[in-house]
Structure 1
Amino acid sequence: MRKIVLSMSVSLDGFFEGPNRELDWHMVDDELHRHFNERSKAMSGFLTGRVMHELMAGFWPTADQDPASPEPEREFAAIWRDMPKIVYSRTLDLGHTDWNTTVVREVVPEEVRALKDQPGGDLGIGGAELAAEFRRHDLIDEYLLYVTPVVLGRGRPLFPDTGATTRLRPTETHTFGNGVVLLRYERATAG
C-alpha cells in the first residue's frame, strides 16, 4: 500500500509562510533541491490544494527553459510537469487538465484510501489547508518537515487546530549543509 506523505518547509517556530504569505525565508540550495528531486521521482502523484497548485503552475512548467536556472530546478520542472496531479478545489474548472492535472471537489476519505490501495509510489500532499483536511480524516501516513533555522515570530502555522491528535514515531533526521533539518515521522499506527 502506498502512503500519503506530507512534505513541507517550516520555520523553527512552526510557520510554513510568513504573515504576508512570504516564502523568501526558505533556504533551498542545490543540495536540498536534489534531495527533493530524488524523493519526488519516486512518487506516483502530487495531491495539492488550489493555492499550492497555482503557485507551482505559475513557475514550474517553463522553469527548465531558462538557461540561468540551476540544474536541480531544471530537473524538477520536468518531474513536476510529468507527475500526475490531483488538485482539490471547489473553484477550479473541473475540465482543468494542464500539466497532467485532475481537479476534485472534495476530500472523500474512501476515495483517498482507494488511491492508497493502488500500486505505485507514494503520493505527496502539499498545502497546509489540504493537509489539515487530510489530518482531520487521519489520511497522512508520513510527515517530512524541513525545519529552516529561522524564527518568524508570526505567520501561518503548518498545523492549525483540527481537533485531531496524531501520534507519530520518528524515523529519520538529517541535517543539510545549509542548516535545514529534516525531521521524518510516520503515524504510530501506520503498518
Structure 2
Amino acid sequence: MRKVIAAINMTIDGFCDHTAGLPDEEIHQHYTELLDQGDVILYGRTTYQLMEFWRTFLENPSEDESMNEFARAINKIQKIVFSHTLKNTDWESATVANLGLKETVSELRQQSGKNIFIGSRSLIIQLLKFNLIDEYQLCIHPVVEGKGLPLFENIQDRKILKLVKTKTFKGGVVALYYEPKQ
C-alpha cells in the first residue's frame, strides 16, 4: 500500500503561508528530492494556483539552479486538484479530481506506485479527520507571522503523533517528521 504524506511549510507560530517562509537553495533541494519519492501530489485550488508560479522557470530559468530543479520536479509529478470552481487545468501534469478526496486517496493507496503527497492545508485537515495520513512532514520556518491560516484548525478529536525524524537546515528551518501513534 502506498504511503500518504502530508508535506507543508509553516511558520513557527503554526501558520501556513507560502509567502512567509524562508526558501533557499537547501529548502528547494529538499523539496526536489521529496518530489522524486512520489508520483502524485494532491492540491486544493488555491495552493495549486500558487504552485503554477513554478511553470515560469521552465521557459525562463532562474540564475538559481535549485529553483530550476524544483520547477522541473513539480512540473513532472502528477497533480490532482480538488476544487468546486475549477473545471480544468492547462498544466499538462495536472487534472481536476473527478471523485471526492476520501475516495481518491483510498483508490490511489490501492494502486502500485510511489508516495502520495498532500500539499494543501485544507486537504491535510480533511484527511487528518479521515485518519488517512501516514506521515506528516512539517517544515517549520523560523518566522513568527502573527496572522494567517493555522494548519490544524477546527480539529475536534485529539490526535497523538510520534516524532520519527528531524532534519535541521543551515538557514534555521527544521523539518519534523511525525507518524500517527497507534
TM-score, normalization: structure 2? Answer: 0.92
Instruction: Decide which of 9, 33, 43 is 1:38's aligned counterpart.
Output: 33
- 1:24 and 1:82 map into 2 onto residues whose CA distance is 23
Aligned residues: 182
The two structures, once aligned, show a CA RMSD in angstroms of: 1.7
For residue 113 of structure 1, what is the aligned residue in structure 2? Answer: 106
Instruction: Decide which of 87, 97, 112 is 2:81's aligned counterpart.
Output: 87
Deviation of residue 105 (structure 1)?
A: 5.2
Letter in 2 for 1:92: L
Determine helix, strand or coil for the equivalent of 2:86: coil
Larger deviation: 108-117 or 1-10? 108-117
* Residue ranges of structure 2 left out of the alignment (5+ in a row): none
Deviation of residue 88 (structure 1)?
A: 0.6
C-alpha distance after superposition, 1:122-168 (max 9, x if no partner)? 01111111211111211111101111112222221011013233221
Determine helix, strand or coil for the equivalent of 2:105: helix
Q: Please state if 1:172 is matched with 2:165.
A: yes
For residue 6 of structure 1, what is the aligned residue in structure 2? Answer: 6
For residue 43 of structure 2, what is the aligned residue in structure 1? Answer: 48
For residue 21 of structure 2, what is the aligned residue in structure 1? Answer: 26
Structure 1 runs of 4+ aligned residues shifted over 4 Å read none
Q: Please state if 1:62 is matched with 2:59.
A: no
TM-score, normalization: structure 1? Answer: 0.88
- 2:64 and 2:58 map into 1 onto residues whose CA distance is 9
* Residue ranges of structure 1 left out of the alignment (5+ in a row): 18-22
For residue 20 of structure 1, what is the aligned residue in structure 2? Answer: none
Indicate the percent of aligned positions where both proteins have the same amino acid: 35
Deviation of residue 97 (structure 1)?
A: 5.3
Instruction: Decide which of 142, 150, 174 is 2:143's aligned counterpart.
Output: 150
- 1:177 and 1:143 map into 2 onto residues whose CA distance is 21
